[in-house]
Amino acid sequence: MLFPASSRTLLHRWINQCGVFESRSLKTTGLQIRQLGASASLFAGVQFTAPYSSSGLSRRLKEQQTISSGYSSKKYSNMLPSHETMAQRGGPVEPVRFTKNMTFFSNRKQSYEKDIHSLRLTETLDKPLVFIFAWLQASEKHLAKYADFYLDQGFEVLCVHITPWQLVWPVNGSQKVAADVVKFLTNNAFPEGIVIHGFSVGGYLWGECLVKLHADPAGKSVLAKIRGQVWDSLADITEIPVGVPHAVLPHNPTLQGVLRNYINYHMKLFHEEATQYYVKCTHLFHYEPAQCPALLLVSKTDPVGTEKANNRLRSIWESVGVKTSLKCWDKSPHVGHFHKHRDEYIELLLAHLRALDLPMYNRKAKL
């Protein structure tokens, strides 16, 4: 199958960012690919470099990972103002960089100063925190719409994201991001409670956090800080080959198919380096979740966060004692429910928040 030069360049740029593996024998590489099925034969005879190779790892870990949202390619850190800039700026909703992968959104002048090693905030948050686990390639502009809603409700808003590279190479990617999330949750007090609002692959990242929390003696006390959870277009691990191409190449169905074949190949070949971790954290996400009420938001037309997978999750969570509500719309795109059904979406969120054990809402109820 032949593609225009521009398409080949785009595909190779993404593959080089994610990395695959370094093979000294092209013959061996071709044999491995053929054994995985004809669909993967597109990559036969192509030599890739893994981030695990001695030359590739150090270089890639030093590179700033970029976000290409389908409209432009910008370094995520360059999209955000520094603490100093934020202190001088007014405005409705502004992002404030906290770590490379974590960003506060605020409508007031706040710096969120921290100890860089423990991620302990200098000042304890005096509001409840909503922790947004973003979808792949989420833009600051889109995340700000959700932040605006929660800020109006009296929350602090912190968003965490991962890049495609961090997803496909979890050991040096998503697991390090999860370690920062757990460090932040462990080393800070949240007297007003925490709500998680996750999207799509954000459920996988929270699963990596659960792995670390369940291995930590203090993990139960951390999970007790979480009072509620909302999952929008939650993607099952089996849908990674569908979801990643959809996020990375949203307007190119042809290259989506090529990338889907590659990711299927990647997950089969790199079981030890990647797939085994997806399986483990997915199991914990399903069977050992945070014990707080959950709201699942899906649609019948979403090919990534499917109705079937989310209904199965609801059944499992209810069997382990997690009160779970599910709303399924007849038609709306992946992570597009808020845009498509804004009024109903907001009503569902408000009803869910009022039902949680949040001190802020308890105080309002007594007035």
pLDDT in tens, 93-122: 999 999 999 999 999 888 899 999 999 999
Give the integer Cα–Cα distance in Å for 315 and 332: 23
Please state which of the ranges 73-82, 88-97, 163-172 shows the lowest mean pLDDT.
73-82
Structure letter (DSSP) for residue 112: -
pLDDT > 70? residue 355: yes
- Position 43, amino acid: F
**144-177: per-residue pLDDT in tens?**
999 999 999 999 999 999 998 999 999 999 999 9
For CA atoms 309, 315, 317, 319, the dihedral sign is negative
Overall average pLDDT of the 224-230 stretch: 97
What pLDDT shows up at residue 324? 98
The 10 Å CB-count burial string (b at 16+, else e) for 215-244 is eeeebeebbebbbbbbbbbbbbbebbbbbb
What pLDDT shows up at residue 9? 54
pLDDT > 80? residue 75: no
Q: The tokens of 240 are what?
A: 């990674």
Give the integer Cα–Cα distance in Å for 200 and 115: 31
Give the integer Cα–Cα distance in Å for 310 and 335: 14
Class assignment of domain 94-363? alpha beta
Structure letter (DSSP) for residue 122: S
Say whether 197 sits in a helix, a strand or coil: strand
Please give the distance of CA 230 from its chain centroid, rounded to a whole number: 13
Q: Where are the domains of the chain?
A: 94-363
What pLDDT shows up at residue 13? 53
Say whether 124 sits in a helix, a strand or coil: coil
- The candidate with the shortest Cα–Cα distance to 223, out of 313, 131, 291, is 291
Overall average pLDDT of the 215-242 stretch: 91
Q: Which residue has the tokens 């890049």?
A: 163
Whether the CB-CB separation of 96 and 111 falls below 8 Å is answered with yes
